Structures are given as structure tokens and as C-alpha cells.
């Protein structure tokens, strides 16, 4: 039996080899590139949340008196301060003034305002940050990072929590809505 004459020519033809190799390697390369982009976006979201929490602590600590409406303006400014991230429904902000009571300077909440859900905080973390009749400002931020890739492939959202402390710069205690101590109960001040 004779071999058809087109088979040796077909086996010797290498025109489709590169396309076949690319078709085999392309999915892996695409996933690799998408993974690098996703990691860089997650890193950026974490960095923006860290920068934002420190900026808010700095802004609040500069004041001698504040209002709940003023804190809401700071929360609303997150859209610009964390740009290009979308913070509209993805950001919880928890601002409190922790005072120090008695000779042992036991930390106590003087006031606390929360936009969204409270960010977990153990008040004993502030122990040793001040003396009697002084205070520190504690700001907590929770940013919920969602991406197109995690939505597309069913991945988990990433919850980024950061906190920062700042000492009031002018006064030892910052007055909020006219008082420096309202018992420290959580008061919601806006949803953004």
C-alpha cells in the first residue's frame, strides 16, 4: 500500500505550530496577568485605607470643637480622599475620643461616632497613651474591597481594617456637639 503524497507534506508543514502553542499557553498567561493586576489593586486598596485612617485622625486631632455634621463631612470626603476607589457603600468609619480616668489613667470612651458598622476596638489598646484629664482620638476604618475579577470568578471580598491614634493638638479634650464627654455610647452619624 502506498502512502498518499499529501501526508509527508502535511507533517513537514509547520505553519500552524506557533498558533497551536499560543492557544495552549494563552489561558495560563491571561490568568497570570489578571492575578498580578488583582494583587496590585488589593495592595492599592490597603494603602489607600491606611492613608485615609491617618488623614482622618490628623484632621480630627487638629480641632478644638467638632460637630457630628463635621464628622459626616469628613466621611463624605472619603470619596475624594480614597480616589479612585469606590467608598460610597464600602466604607465604615468609627471615630472616638478615649479619655483617661483616675490616678491609674484607666481608658474610657468619652464620645464615639460611627458611620456604618462599628470597627472592632478594645479600649485597653489605648492604655498608657495619656494621663488623667487627657484624651486620644482613635479612628477605625473598614473598607470592603470588591473587584470585577472576584465577582467574575466567585472569589471572596476583602475586608481591610485599619486604625490610627492621634493626640489632640490644641486642647487636651475635643468637644463634640458642645460636650467633651457624652458617656461614650456609639452614635451613628451617617451612612454616606
Q: Using omega within 30 degrees of 0 as the cis cutoff, is the peptide bond preceding 128 cis?
A: no
In a domain, 1, yes or no: no
pLDDT of residue 34: 87
- Give CA–CA dist 4/27, Å, rounded: 37
In a domain, 71, yes or no: yes
Indicate the number of domains in the chain.
Answer: 1
Mean pLDDT of the chain: 86
- Chain segment 35-49, per-residue pLDDT in tens: 898 889 889 999 999
| pLDDT > 70? residue 3 | no
- Greatest extent of the chain over all pairs of C-alpha atoms, in Å: 107
- Chain segment 106-150, per-residue pLDDT in tens: 999 999 999 999 999 899 999 988 888 889 999 999 999 888 777
| pLDDT > 90? residue 27 | yes
Contact 109, 132 (CB under 8 A): no
pLDDT of residue 192: 47
Q: Please choose, from the candidates 99, 115, 113, the residue with its C-alpha nearest in 3D space to the C-alpha of residue 67.
A: 113
pLDDT of residue 53: 95
Cell of 70: 463635621
In a domain, 50, yes or no: yes
- Give CA–CA dist 76/73, Å, rounded: 5
Q: Which domain holds residue 30?
A: 6-188
In a domain, 13, yes or no: yes
Contact 133, 172 (CB under 8 A): yes
Contact 141, 162 (CB under 8 A): yes
- Chain segment 53-89, per-residue pLDDT in tens: 999 999 999 988 989 899 999 888 888 888 888 877 8
- Give CA–CA dist 15/142, Å, rounded: 55
pLDDT of residue 4: 63
97-101, 152-156, 173-177, range with the lowest pLDDT? 152-156
Amino acid at each position: 500500500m502506498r502512502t498518499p503524497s499529501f501526508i509527508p507534506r502535511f507533517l513537514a508543514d509547520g505553519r500552524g505550530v506557533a498558533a497551536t502553542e499560543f492557544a495552549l499557553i494563552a489561558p495560563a498567561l491571561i490568568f497570570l496577568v489578571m492575578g498580578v493586576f488583582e494583587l496590585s489593586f488589593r495592595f492599592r486598596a490597603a494603602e489607600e485605607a491606611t492613608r485615609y485612617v491617618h488623614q482622618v485622625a490628623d484632621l480630627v486631632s487638629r480641632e478644638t470643637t467638632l460637630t457630628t455634621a463635621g464628622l459626616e463631612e469628613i466621611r463624605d470626603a472619603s470619596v475624594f480622599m480614597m480616589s479612585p476607589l469606590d467608598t460610597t457603600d464600602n466604607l465604615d468609619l468609627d471615630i472616638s475620643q478615649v479619655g483617661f480616668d483616675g490616678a491609674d489613667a484607666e481608658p474610657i470612651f468619652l464620645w464615639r461616632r460611627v458611620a456604618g458598622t462599628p470597627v472592632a476596638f478594645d479600649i485597653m489598646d489605648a492604655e498608657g497613651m495619656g494621663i488623667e484629664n487627657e484624651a486620644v482620638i482613635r479612628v477605625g476604618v473598614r473598607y470592603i474591597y470588591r473587584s470585577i475579577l472576584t465577582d467574575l470568578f466567585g472569589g471572596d471580598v476583602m475586608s481591610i481594617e485599619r486604625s490610627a491614634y492621634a493626640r489632640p493638638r490644641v486642647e487636651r479634650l475635643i468637644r463634640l456637639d458642645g460636650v467633651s464627654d457624652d458617656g461614650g455610647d456609639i452614635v451613628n452619624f451617617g451612612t454616606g
